[in-house]
Structure 1
Amino acid sequence: MLNFLYYPVSAVMWFWHQAFALVLGPSSGFAWALSVVFLVLTLRAIMIKPFLSQVRSGRRMRVIAPQLAEIRRRHAGDKQKMAEETQKLQREHGVSMMGGCLPLLIQMPVFLALLHVLRYFNRPGLTFEQNSAIGNYVFGPDEVRSFLEARLFGAPLSSWVRMPQSLLDSFGAHVDRWEVVVVAVPLMLLAAVATHVTARNSQRQQLATQTVVPEPGTQAAQMAGFMKLTPWIFPLGVIVGGLFFTFPIAILLYWLTNNCWTMVQQHLVHKAMDREDERLAEQRAAAAVVAGDTAPRPGARPATPARKPGAKPVAAGARRAGPAQVSPAARRPAGTSGKAAAGRRKPGARKGGRH
């Protein structure tokens, strides 16, 4: 059903095995173990961008948490209005609920495909000879046999703690159960610790973005109580699966690598984003200080513009001459004195005298 995922995943593992086989040999247990490790690292590197989108969405939710709480309080009786206001606020701040769920939706089928490929090397119910005669997607029968014979510190990568002794004996050379336990149990415990740390970090980030405290007795409160147990349930599942179920050493190696990557990625990404948030907060604070210094005080007159250098101040009440104001002397014709101009009468004018 998921062949469109099984083939690419097995192809990535095949590529890394071919690369390490050039140095360590095609049947080396370390070459196969490193191919599993780098298969996980390759898939996780591809999904860094969705993870960053998820973290940014969670941090924006933390910023708008008080506003979301206010919307819920104000529109407690109108669910439709509450949903509209919530979506509007999320759009304004670039928060996408799908962006927070997208990494999980991508990771689940990919890592189910990875687990399936690893399990398919050693199909339950088949003997060593039967499994080694069947291919595993891009791996041919010879490569499947090489994987089944590969050992890590003496234990076959495809073996598990409660593997029947008849299957252990079918690996060719005799394999004692204690050899499997010595390798599987430390991997199991390390994977459980890494799972606990990553689950607690994820829970801490989720609680930081929580906007409403669920009321006791409600379904939301029961779900919140279950989420508090997840940092302990998931590691317990790794231990139980490793001890009592068919969790081969290769799958325990995958689980450990995956959770170690998550643990380191969470630390580095959140630390970098904390520094980014601090830098943005400092820039906003500096901009607010500058705006406060330049703004006029309440009741104060706005500052007058500065005069140009060399310009004379204008006395209060003085009228500025416009371009239409011309002196009387400038109106006289050229070459005419003041007396001549005064003695010249208009036509029809009477001579002045005493009456």
Structure 2
Amino acid sequence: MLDFIYYPVSFILWCWHKVFGFVFGPDNAIAWILGIVFLTFTVRGILFKPFVKQVRSMKKMQDFAPEVKKLQKKYANDRQKQATEMRKLQQEHGVNPLGSCLPMLLQIPVFIGLNWVLRNFQEGRPDNYFFDAAEVDSYVNAKLFGINIGDAINHFGFAGQSDEWNWEVAPLAIPLMIIAAIATHLTARHSVARQNPASASQQTAMMNKLTLYIFPFGVLIFGAFFPIGLLIYWLANNGWTLGQQRLVYGRIDREEEQKKLEEKEKRDNLAPKPGQKPKAGQKPNKPQPGQKPATQNKQASDEASDSAESGSEGDPGKVSAQSSTGNTNGSGTSQKNGTSQKSGSSAKSGNSAKGGAWAKNGGNKQRPAGQGKKSKGGKRR
């Protein structure tokens, strides 16, 4: 029924047994144990990329967990609308919830297939999928510390196997069960430590308890019904997972740190630094054509203001030509209310009028043109 699983699993195990059997001998238990270990590594190597995608997907889901909580609170009474909005949010962030479960789901058929293949190594069988009769006998007679690697403390009524308690297997099986349970706990603990507390929920807390305590305890209980070869697979699988997590999590942490440094450097380059001095050889910004530098504009404004103040307070002979309300023409006449008057000397545009003499008209003194009017600075002269 599940031959599409059993044949690939047995073929990978057959290949690795041929490799290590060439080195250690085909009947050596070490060749079979290393074959099982590298069968595990082969399957996990195939699932490496899906595992990386799983970790990145879980990281994204933790990042937008606050938004998920807002949706759950907003649509607490409308489950359908809540599910619709959740799908939209996941699509916006490029997250597939099923993708995070894929590596774990794919390992289940491998475990089932290996369990079946290892239990089918029975004395007198003509073959076992890719293994012929001689290879079946080789596995049945392979012993580690005097214990057959195909035996279990209890085979639990498996077809063709005795369901009696084989306590002579316990000295090898129990240490393997304990180490496998510890490896399962450490793997789960390392994964839980990566979770964002802001994304914690009741479902998350329940799953954490299952992976941290229930699964390792299950290995201790049900490991008594696993053959030695399957316990080795479980131990190798958890050892690979722990090392893979450290490698992938470390890489993702470095990528995020590098991204933060690049963003900070970009912000620092855009923001002006207080008290920053021009670098050696750096040229000042050139003004646009027809535009005066800001310092010259400020200096001209200050000079005009000073000139206006001195002309109104102590020296009426010096008045800025720019303070006149009329336009000063080239002949030195200032227009005021439509009447032209001559000053003591001709005024040129942009310069203060010279002469400063009071013009006499019938023995009466008259102020120079522009006196008493508002200057551009807003002061009375």
TM-score (norm: length of structure 1): 0.69
Give how far 1:262 is off.
0.9
Is the strand fraction higher in 1 or 2?
Answer: 2
Aligned pair in 2 of structure 1 residues 209, 61: CA closer, same or farther (>3 Å)? farther
1:54 is the counterpart of 2:59: no
Give how far 1:10 is off.
0.3
- 8 Å CA contact 1:54–1:99 kept in 2: the answer is yes
Matches within 5 A, 1:212-223: 213-214=201-202
Give how far 1:132 is off.
2.9
Matches within 5 A, 1:343-354: none
Give how far 1:158 is off.
0.8
1:182 maps to which of 164, 171, 194: 171
- State the partner residue of 1:110: 110
1:267 maps to which of 243, 246, 250: 246
For 2:149 and 2:77, the matched residues in 1 are separated by 59
Matched residue SS, 2:101 = helix
Structure with bigger RCO (C-alpha 8 Å, 6+ apart)? 1
Aligned pair in 2 of structure 1 residues 241, 70: CA closer, same or farther (>3 Å)? closer
1:288 maps to which of 259, 262, 267: 267
2:235 maps to which of 231, 256, 259: 256
For 1:286 and 1:57, the matched residues in 2 are separated by 27
For 2:63 and 2:178, the matched residues in 1 are separated by 37
Give how far 1:253 is off.
0.8
1:211 is the counterpart of 2:199: yes
- State the partner residue of 2:139: 147
TM-score (norm: length of structure 2): 0.65
The amino acid that maps onto 2:186 is V
Matches within 5 A, 1:1-355: 1-122=1-122, 131-162=123-154, 178=168, 180-205=169-194, 207-208=195-196, 211=199, 213-214=201-202, 224-225=205-206, 227-243=208-224, 245=225, 247-293=226-272, 306-307=286-287
- 8 Å CA contact 1:7–1:137 kept in 2: the answer is yes
* Deviation sequence 1:27-47 (CA, Å, 0-9, x none): 011111111111111111110
| Matched length | 276
* Deviation sequence 1:282-337 (CA, Å, 0-9, x none): 2223323334449xxxxxxxxx98347xx776799xxxxxxxxxxxxxxxxxxxxx
For 1:162 and 1:231, the matched residues in 2 are separated by 26
- 8 Å CA contact 2:151–2:228 kept in 1: the answer is yes
Which protein shows a greater Rg? 2
For structure 1, the residue ranges without an aligned partner over 5 or more in a row are 123-130, 165-169, 171-175, 215-219, 295-303, 317-355
The amino acid that maps onto 1:22 is F
The amino acid that maps onto 1:255 is W
For 2:206 and 2:155, the matched residues in 1 are separated by 36
- 8 Å CA contact 2:114–2:230 kept in 1: the answer is no
Give how far 1:177 is off.
5.5
- 8 Å CA contact 2:66–2:198 kept in 1: the answer is no
* Deviation sequence 1:27-79 (CA, Å, 0-9, x none): 01111111111111111111001111110000011111122222333333443
The amino acid that maps onto 1:237 is G
Aligned pair in 2 of structure 1 residues 191, 134: CA closer, same or farther (>3 Å)? same
Query: Which has the larger displacement, 90-99 or 250-259?
Result: 90-99
The amino acid that maps onto 1:251 is L
For structure 2, the residue ranges without an aligned partner over 5 or more in a row are 157-161, 274-283, 298-381
For 1:76 and 1:241, the matched residues in 2 are separated by 41
Aligned pair in 2 of structure 1 residues 26, 84: CA closer, same or farther (>3 Å)? same
Give how far 1:209 is off.
7.1
- 8 Å CA contact 2:71–2:82 kept in 1: the answer is yes
CA RMSD of aligned residues (A): 2.9
* Deviation sequence 1:121-144 (CA, Å, 0-9, x none): 14xxxxxxxx33331111111111
For 1:102 and 1:284, the matched residues in 2 are separated by 33
Aligned pair in 2 of structure 1 residues 102, 200: CA closer, same or farther (>3 Å)? same
Aligned pair in 2 of structure 1 residues 71, 283: CA closer, same or farther (>3 Å)? farther
